[in-house]
């Protein structure tokens, strides 16, 4: 077990619920060893993580950082074994899409692998301009800005916008990158209970009338797969003069009949003020973006520190992303239908077998197992039997709510999903979850 051998205290930052910002190896306390000759104050926490990882490896429960050598549709080869991938964010199955691969190859040949540096100075290529125009068009907004990762996008945007005297109001289950952006911002950082609009209103009522107010939430929550209550949040944002920022990391390509995200899902086009997304999940690249009105984007281009002080996206990646948005416009409907069929089949199959899949109705499917021990044992069973899946353990989720998190994609066939269901059922029976 990951926890048993570690004596080191882990700060559980999410007392009342999830802490998606948590991680089994995170936030270890630094204590100066009694015998200072054995090291400095950092030694204890560095050693604690070392011991924890070693102990998990000895127990054969360590599945992090598993290198994939080959990708074959929904299947991968890793360390000599062929496994069905259920730990992927490639929701529409666009990894290795021939049009996207070809676009990257052309850009590599034309521009090389890197750029002259940061976008604001010499790093901007015509490709970056086209990329941002493609994102703006896809998102239905005036303009867009692309950053080097999704994580950095949240960090840079929230901290640029929310200054002293402003309030940022964040759902308690938001992703770590949002939490870290709020922590970096100079304004007041407030949280509301997960997807609880009465609690959001309570917080909004406390904010000074003239303070800048930013409400921020994931569209689809990354640990549970449930969907943010956009209609109610929009109404509250309008009533209290707040701006609404939504992270579409797990909804782009996934929600809405054409995969355009949460606004399409609720039939509320244009209601999000600050539309954030990642370019590393449905879009097979790296990077993140904000789409919005042109003055907001201009503000970010000239104030967001991670944009100003960090290098431009590499040309092959920028070209791949442009093509990926075009592919979604062309193939999104069909791929989205396959995805929806697969998600329904998988969730129904799990429920019929007696599993608890929590609140999900999206490709992020938590398979609740309770204890960390069960989650680790089931992970090992699945990995040994050809399903690549990973556990989510406290403190990322509350004690007793450990789970496997299985991601369904459009690349899975129904036979693939049936194969995985059979393995999950045998794993669940082996540990007594079902």
Least CB distance from residue 405 to ligand PMP, whole Å?
A: 11
Give the shortest CB-108-to-ligand PMP separation in angstroms: 21
User: Which candidate, 273, 298, 314, 329, places its Cα nearest to that of 144?
Assistant: 298
User: Which among 33-41, 147-155, 299-307, 375-383 is the span making contact with ligand PMP, rule CB under 6 A?
Assistant: 147-155
**Tokens standing for 265?**
């899902």
Which CB, 177 or 377, lies closer to ligand PMP? 177
- Contact string (CB under 6 A) for ligand PMP, positions 169-208, x = contact: ------x-x-------------------------------
Residue 262 in the binding site for ligand PMP (CB under 6 A): no
Q: What is the DSSP string of 120-153?
A: IIII--HHHHHHHHHHHHHHTSSEEEEES-HHHH
How many whole angstroms separate alpha carbon 236 and alpha carbon 420?
42
Given the complex with ligand PMP, which of 149 and 377 has the nearer CB atom?
Answer: 149
CB 344 to ligand PMP: min, Å: 23
Q: Single out the segment in contact with ligand PMP by CB under 6 A; choices: 124-132, 148-156, 321-329, 396-404.
A: 148-156
Instruction: Note the Cα 83 to chain centre separation in Å.
Output: 23
The residue annotated as part of the active site, out of 177, 222, 251, 280, is 222
271 CB-near residues (< 8 Å, 6+ apart) = 230, 234, 244, 263
Nearer to ligand PMP, 23 or 240 (CB): 23
Q: CA torsion 197→368→413→228, rounded to 10°?
A: 10
Q: What is the C-alpha radius of gyration for the chain, rounded to an integer number of angstroms? A: 22
Q: In the bound complex, what is the minimum distance in angstroms from residue 242's beta carbon to ligand PMP?
A: 20
For ligand PMP, the closer of residues 134 and 280 by Cβ is 280
Active-site entry in 83, 194, 250, 265: 250
Does residue number 149 form part of the binding site for ligand PMP (CB under 6 A)? yes
Among 249, 369, 378, 423, binds ligand PMP (CB under 6 A): 249
Per-residue b or e along 190-219, where b marks 16 or more CB atoms closer than 10 Å to that residue's CB = bbbbbbeeebbbebbeebeeeebbbbbbbb
User: Is residue 251 at the binding interface for ligand PMP, with CB under 6 A as the rule?
Assistant: no
Q: End-to-end distance of the chain based on CA atoms, in angstroms?
A: 21
- Helix axis angle for 294-303 and 150-161, nearest 10°, is 100
Q: Give catalytic status of residue 222 as yes or no.
A: yes
| Residue nearest to ligand PMP according to CB distances in the complex | 150
CB-CB neighbours of 298 under 10 Å: 12
Give whichever of 150 and 366 is closer to ligand PMP, judged by the CB atom.
150
Q: Which residues pair with 279 in a beta bridge?
A: none
How many residues in the shown chain lie near ligand PMP by CB under 6 A?
A: 14
150 belongs to the binding site for ligand PMP (CB under 6 A): yes
Alpha carbons within 13 angstroms on the beta-carbon side of residue 90 total 19
Q: Which of 292, 365, 280 is nearest to 324 (CA)?
A: 280
Is 250 tagged catalytic? yes
> In the stretch 268-297, what mask flags binding to ligand PMP with x, by CB under 6 A?
----------x-x-------x---------
151 near ligand PMP, judged by CB under 6 A:
yes
Cis before 395? omega within 30: yes
Per-residue binding string, ligand PMP, 206-225, x by CB under 6 A, is ------------x---x---
Q: DSSP letters of 279-305? A: SSSSSSS--EEEEE-HHHHHHHHHH-H
Closer of 278 and 362 to ligand PMP (Cβ): 278
Q: How far is the CB of 75 from ligand PMP (least distance, A)?
A: 22
List of E strands, 319-417: 364-370, 387-388, 390-392, 402-407
Q: Point out the residues that are catalytic.
A: 222, 250, 281
- Contacts with ligand PMP by CB under 6 A lie at 149-151, 154, 175, 177, 218, 222, 247, 249-250, 278, 280, 288
């Amino acid at each position: 077990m990951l926890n048993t051998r570690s004596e080191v205290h882990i700060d559980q930052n999410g007392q009342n619920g999830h802490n998606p910002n948590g991680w089994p190896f995170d936030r270890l306390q630094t204590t100066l060893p009694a015998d200072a000759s054995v090291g400095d104050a950092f030694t204890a926490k560095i050693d604690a993580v070392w011991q924890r990882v070693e102990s998990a490896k000895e127990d054969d429960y360590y599945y992090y950082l598993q290198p994939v050598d080959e990708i074959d549709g929904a299947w991968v080869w890793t360390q000599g074994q062929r496994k069905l991938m259920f730990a992927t964010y490639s929701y529409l199955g666009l990894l290795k899409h021939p049009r996207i691969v070809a676009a990257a190859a052309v850009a590599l040949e034309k521009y090389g692998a890197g750029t002259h540096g940061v976008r604001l100075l010499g790093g901007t290529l015509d490709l970056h301009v086209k990329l941002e125009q493609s994102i703006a068009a896809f998102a239905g907004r005036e303009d867009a800005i692309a950053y080097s990762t999704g994580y950095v996008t949240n960090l840079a945007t929230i901290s640029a916008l929310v200054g002293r005297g402003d309030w940022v109001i964040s759902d308690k289950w938001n992703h770590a990158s949002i939490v870290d952006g709020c922590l970096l911002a100079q304004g007041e950082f407030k949280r509301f209970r997960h997807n609880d609009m009465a609690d959001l209103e309570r917080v909004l009522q406390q904010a000074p009338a003239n303070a800048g107010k930013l409400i921020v939430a994931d569209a689809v929550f990354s640990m549970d797969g449930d969907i943010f209550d956009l209609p109610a949040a929009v109404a509250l944002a309008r009533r209290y003069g707040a701006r609404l920022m939504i992270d579409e990391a797990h909804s782009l390509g996934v929600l809405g009949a054409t995969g355009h995200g949460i606004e399409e899902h609720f039939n509320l086009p244009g209601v999000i003020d600050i539309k954030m997304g990642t370019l590393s999940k449905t879009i097979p690249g790296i990077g993140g973006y904000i789409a919005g009105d042109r003055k907001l984007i201009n503000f970010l281009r000239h104030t967001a520190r991670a944009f100003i002080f960090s290098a431009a996206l590499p040309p092959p990646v920028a070209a791949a992303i442009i093509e990926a948005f075009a592919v979604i416009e062309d193939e999104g409907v069909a791929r989205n239908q396959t995805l929806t069929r697969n998600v329904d089949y998988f969730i129904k199959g799990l429920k019929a077998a007696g599993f608890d899949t929590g609140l999900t109705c999206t490709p992020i499917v938590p398979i609740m197992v309770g204890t960390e021990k069960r989650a680790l044992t089931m992970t090992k069973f699945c990995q040994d039997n050809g399903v690549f899946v990973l556990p989510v353990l406290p403190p990322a989720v509350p004690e007793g709510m450990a789970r496997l998190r299985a991601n369904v994609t459009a690349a899975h066939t129904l036979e693939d999903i049936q194969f995985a269901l059979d393995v999950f059922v045998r794993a669940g029976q082996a540990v007594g979850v079902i």
